[in-house]
Amino acid sequence: PPTGLEGLDSVTLTRFVLHGQRKHHDASGDLTLLLAAVQLACKVTETCVRRAGIAKLYGLAGSGNVQGEDQKKLDIIANDTFKVNIESSERCGVMVSEEDELAIVCTKSSIDGTTGKYAIAFDPLDGSSNIDANVSIGTIFSIFKIDDPDSITDAKSAAAAISQPGRQMVAAGYAMYGSATNLVISVGTGVYGFTLDPSLGEFVLTHPDIKIPSRGKIYSVNEGNAKNWDKATTEYIQSLKYPEEGKSSYSLRYIGSMVADVHRTLFYGGVFIYPADKKSPNGKLRLLYEAAPMAFLMEQAGGKATTGKTEILDIVPEDIHQRVPVYMGSSEDIADFEALASKYA
Ligand code: P6P
């Protein structure tokens, strides 16, 4: 029978990151410290998400407001947790959060007054509208190197410093607070999946070197928006539902929580799509802390990610909260869509 000690001989996220640091001889250890802060913030958020579920039961007594406050509290708790932990790592010069309108200039190092050399964008609790139904939700983050830390003096220069194409990302990842708590991360050397072992309080490596299947059998999109889709999207989805003779249709799986839909796509293959439509001309998902980090992970896992016009990782952000259409997943499936999209370009 399991002894419960099985996790002890596994690689923890901390060891994984430290090992990665040693591969870069010039590494200062700054990214290691920043990722340690992100990891801690994920653990704190995870416990809050678990507790909010219990609070939700109180909310069932008809005090909908409380529940509303809980959700708002939960978004704010998660946001504050990430900001406090990232600031205190003193390795970041810039933070962008889905919850804050302006880019944040981090406080200078208490040791030598310098500016942290990294910039991080994060959605502290994506999909939190789903918490009432106990659906998996998560945190998404992207980390860039700041070219000129001394140039950062205000929100405008901070926004400029992080407005880099996703291809320049140093690291990207997401935590998914589901039946288990996963942390999936890439530092540019492939995608690695960790699972929180609550008895150890450690993220343990459970999925080394994740690769997305080159083709899948699942498509993931909000069919409720079908009347607003453009021609390429309509024709592509139609081809999955009514395939040519002898081919089977794809299955539809849509959770409505990006982290959960992308996580399933990464493991099972297929496509996750949030298209632009007449209602939202640039789609709904934000580039810096939703589409770009997920695109980085997809490409690192052998997948593709496009807006239909350009690869997501090539887009230079013009606004820190800008939205982009998202088509990502298995390379062969996305290539099929791109061929169709080019027909209507
Ligand atoms: P819709 C959650 O609100 C979110 O930002 C993403 O997590 C998710 O993929 C998307 O919106 C769902 O949007 O319009 O289908 O409900």
The pLDDT value recorded for residue 64 is 33
Amino acid type, 134: N
Q: Is any atom of ligand 1 closer than 6 Å to the C-beta of 328?
A: no
Distance CA(236)–CA(116), nearest Å, equals 45
H or E stretch covering 343: helix 331-343
Q: Which residue has the higher pLDDT, 147 or 131?
A: 147
Give this prediction's pTM.
Answer: 0.93
Tokens 């999109």 appear where? 221
- The atom of ligand 1 lying closest to the CA of 224 is 15
ipTM: 0.97
How does pLDDT run across 308-344, given as a tens digit for each residue?
A: 999 999 999 999 999 999 999 999 999 999 999 999 8
Structure tokens given for 343: 């027909």
- Express each pLDDT in 253-306 by its tens digit: 999 999 999 999 999 999 999 999 887 899 999 999 999 999 999 999 999 999
261 or 10, which is more confident: 261
Tell me which residue has tokens 């849509």: 254
Decide: 127 in ligand 1 pocket, CB within 6 A: yes
Q: Which residues contact 256 (CB under 8 A, 6 or more apart)?
A: 127, 130, 135, 222
Least confident range from 61-70, 219-228, 231-240, 277-286: namely 61-70
CA of 270 to the centre of ligand 1 (A): 18
* pLDDT digit string, tens, across residues 94-125: 999 998 989 999 998 888 888 899 999 999 99
- Two tokens, residue 114: 């310098």
Average pLDDT of the residues of the chain? 89
* pLDDT tens-digit readout, 11-29: 899 888 888 887 777 778 8
DSSP notation for 190-204: --EEEEEETTTTEEE
Distance of CA 149 to the CA centre of its chain: 25
Number of the ligand 1 atom closest to the C-alpha atom of 272: 9
- Whose C-alpha lies nearest to ligand 1, atom 9? 258
Distance CA 121, CA 294 (A): 12
